[in-house]
Amino acid sequence: MTALAILVLVLLASVLQRITGMGAAMMMAPFLVVMLGPHGGVMLTNVLAGCISAVMLASVWRRIEWRRLTLLIPAAVLVMPLASWIAARSPGGPLYIIVSCLVLAGLTLAVFLSRLGRRADGPAVRILTGVGAGAGTVLAGVGGPAMAFYQVLSGWDPRAFAASVQPVWITLSICGLGSKLLFSREEFPTLPWWGWLACLPLTLGGLRIGRRVGRRLSTLTASRIVVGIAVIGALLSLATGIVALLQ
């Protein structure tokens, strides 16, 4: 039953990922953590989310705006070791709460500025976005909100954004999985052989459904969905931190 539930998550996450470019990890992580434990759940989330992005990459390759990623991805990768060091030496609850509050404040500011017609982009903004995505992924499992912040603040077209962030998720998934395997003694979670085989057709099917749904959405609606997903992810992380403090 666990394997079947995971496959359903893969299908739904693929649909969401194709529509908005993000959200697969956020959708799967809470359920996989409950089913497999915190370490195993996060590791499997990294693998599955990275695979979904890798499969999607082939269909959106021509739309990727690499110039926006040349500073963003290196910044995300370089900050992850420091963030891992901080996470290993700090209580988890306060970290989740601090990161979540910063994310919510940043998203609120970005939406406010966008409604005033003000945009911000450039090397500094992209580096800060990468730092936020990399650190957020390690410290609280919320890399998506930082990218949503940049999308709103820079006025990045949602469809170009959905394509361009896939290399970011692949990189963060690989680095996140590597960190878990390096610093955790937990064994890598496994699925039955038929479960791994089923992941590919389910991912392809979910991406196809998401593509059809995405074509019917306006640019404004797609942008709102991206922000909504980011807010939900931050709120889930905040709730995780509060629960950790109360235990």
Mean pLDDT score of the chain: 82
The total domain count for the chain is 1
pLDDT at 163: 92
Note down the domain range covering 81: 2-246
Give residues with Cβ within 8 angstroms of 163, minimum separation 6: 21, 60, 61, 63, 64, 65
Q: Which residues of 47-64 are buried (b: 16+ CB within 10 A; e: fewer)?
A: bbbbbbbbbbeeebeeeb
Percent of the chain with pLDDT over 70: 90
**Helices 144-154, 123-140: inter-axial angle, 10-degree rounding:** 160
pLDDT at 1: 65
pLDDT at 82: 84
CA distance 132 to 22: 15
Output the six-digit token pair for 126.
């992209």
The pair phi, psi for residue 165, each rounded to 5°, is -80, -5
**Which of the four pLDDT bands, split at 50, 70 and 90, describes residue 28?**
confident
Measured CA to CA in angstroms, residue 165 lies from 6, 34, 220 at distances of 24, 27, 18
Determine the average pLDDT of the residues in 170-198.
78
Closest CA to 92 of 24, 141, 42: 141
| 96 touches 136 (CB < 8 A) | no
Output the six-digit token pair for 54.
């890798």
